[in-house]
Amino acid sequence: MDLDRHDFELTELMERIRSSDHRLIALQLPEGLKIQALEMMDQIETETSAKVVLAADPCYGACDLVHDKMKMMGVELVAHMGHSQMNIESGMPTQFIDVTYDGDPELTPVLSFLENHRAMAQKRLLDQENPVDLNEEDAQEKFLDAVGRLAPLTDTKLGLVGSIQHLHLLPEFHERLEKAGYDVTIPLGGARLSFPGQVLGCNYSGDQDDIGHYLFLGSGDFHPIGLVLHTGKPLAMLDPYSGDAQEMSLERIERILRQRFGLIMACDSAKSFGILIGEKPGQMRRTLALRMKRMLEKHGKKGYLLALEHIGPELIDFYPVDAFVNTSCPRIAIDDAVRYSKPLLTPFELEVSLGEKKWELGYQFDEIP
């Protein structure tokens, strides 16, 4: 990754600092951009009268806002970089600052994946349009998506999505893909998503029945894994940093699902659970946590509510419970499961473990609406 090719749009921030005569501001960046934080702090302090404190705790999204601690420190404004504003309130004046990456990857490396995925979607649609006399089990099989849900398609469009720093590329790639013969749509999501085509690690609400497969512009696996687990549709990835193309293979998704089912089975005899509640404004799902506790009590099991700002094995593994259920950031249970010595379930997986829902009806990815 060439960090110098990131564009940090600081002009509006510094104008706000000058006009409001702010004396102390906080700077918050995602983990991958913190290496450039000191340079930005120097620039702000040189060109304004403000002093800058870096919020150096881990930051993985706009749900990770700095709040009460910064206010107690006397901070007047938080500059949050690299994420878009969500439908949450941090309790502090916060300016969201766009960070874009000057990348322009070639389309050619990803075309073979897209062609294969379009063929898969076309076959699935054709099977739906030409029903034959089938028993109920076989009829359901025709409509099953990659993660086991009943999900009929209405078309085979290519859904074009990306992570926040690459969304400016979507209009150009929409045009390129249409010239390459694809029927492309940039989906609109719900209130937690600020821009067309945006996906978050906790929200994939832009999926539509007429989308048969996806192209994701971005790096890393978490967004693609979540998108396939949520939609059950084939997905190709094109990395603007490296230019590399690959697919999120259904074999890999199946391995993840086998791992998740193994954790559910490991909780079959569990009597006590720690229920994790995130303290960050965008991750706090108290109502869901209380529902999980009532459900456990209904089945004669103990549930202990544990509120944490940061969640890691060193902070919870020592509690004398048999397993944990996570109501904080959905990434924790999926991405970090192998780090914990005890099973860490999602709310849906706990419901399956208790017999409230059936695994056979399809996996439900944990989302924050």
Do residues 275 and 337 share a domain? yes
With contact defined as beta carbons under 8 Å apart, do 69 and 84 qualify? no
Question: Which domain-ending residue is among 220, 248, 276?
Answer: 248
Do residues 116 and 217 share a domain? yes
**pLDDT surpassing 60 at residue 140:** no
Give the span between the Cα atoms of 262 and 266, in whole angstroms.
6
Better-predicted residue by pLDDT, 136 or 9: 9
Do residues 26 and 138 share a domain? no
How high is the pLDDT of residue 141? 58
Residue 184: CB atoms within 10 A of its CB come to 18
* Residue 368, in any domain of the structure: no
Task: State what percent of residues in the chain have pLDDT above 90.
Answer: 56
Do residues 113 and 226 share a domain? yes
Least confident range of 77-86, 177-186, 313-322: 77-86
Q: How many distinct structural domains can be found in the chain?
A: 3
Do residues 131 and 227 share a domain? yes
pLDDT-derived band at 296, boundaries 50, 70, 90: very high
Give the span between the Cα atoms of 30 and 200, in whole angstroms.
14
Which residue blocks in the chain are alpha helix, DSSP H? 11-20, 37-47, 68-72, 108-129, 136-143, 170-179, 222-231, 250-266, 286-298, 313-316, 330-335, 347-353
Least confident range of 107-116, 157-166, 170-179: 157-166
Least confident range of 21-35, 43-57, 65-79: 65-79
Q: What is the DSSP string of 176-221?
A: HHHHTT--EE-----TT--STTB-BTTB-TT--TTEEEEEEESSSS
What the block records as the tokens of 76 is 């007047």
Question: Which domain-ending residue is among 58, 73, 101?
Answer: 101
Task: Write down the pTM of the prediction.
Answer: 0.86
* Residue 346, in any domain of the structure: yes
Do residues 341 and 293 share a domain? yes
**pLDDT surpassing 90 at residue 203:** no
* Residue 254, in any domain of the structure: no
* Residue 118, in any domain of the structure: yes
Better-predicted residue by pLDDT, 87 or 184: 184
Q: Look up the domain containing 237 and give its range.
A: 108-248
* Residue 253, in any domain of the structure: no
Do residues 203 and 284 share a domain? no
Q: CA geometry: angle at 314 spanning 308 and 319, to 5°?
A: 75
* Residue 121, in any domain of the structure: yes
Query: In this structure, what are the phi and psi dihedrals at residue 216, rounded to the nearest 5 degrees?
Result: -110, 125
Question: Which CATH number do you get for residue 203?
Answer: 3.40.50.11850
Query: In this structure, what are the phi and psi dihedrals at residue 312, rounded to the nearest 5 degrees?
Result: -155, 165
Better-predicted residue by pLDDT, 174 or 2: 174
Question: Which CATH number do you get for residue 61?
Answer: 3.40.50.11840
Q: Which residues contact 150 (CB under 8 A, 6 or more apart)?
A: 140, 143, 144, 361, 362
Do residues 121 and 240 share a domain? yes
* Residue 367, in any domain of the structure: no
* Residue 130, in any domain of the structure: yes
How high is the pLDDT of residue 3? 47
Residue 76: CB atoms within 10 A of its CB come to 17
- 269 SS3 class: coil
Do residues 240 and 267 share a domain? no
Do residues 320 and 228 share a domain? no
What average pLDDT does range 178-201 have in this prediction?
87
Q: What is the DSSP string of 66-95?
A: --HHHHHTT--EEEEESS---S---SS-EE
What average pLDDT does range 36-45 have in this prediction?
92
Do residues 18 and 95 share a domain? yes
Question: Which domain-ending residue is among 219, 248, 277?
Answer: 248
Do residues 269 and 242 share a domain? no
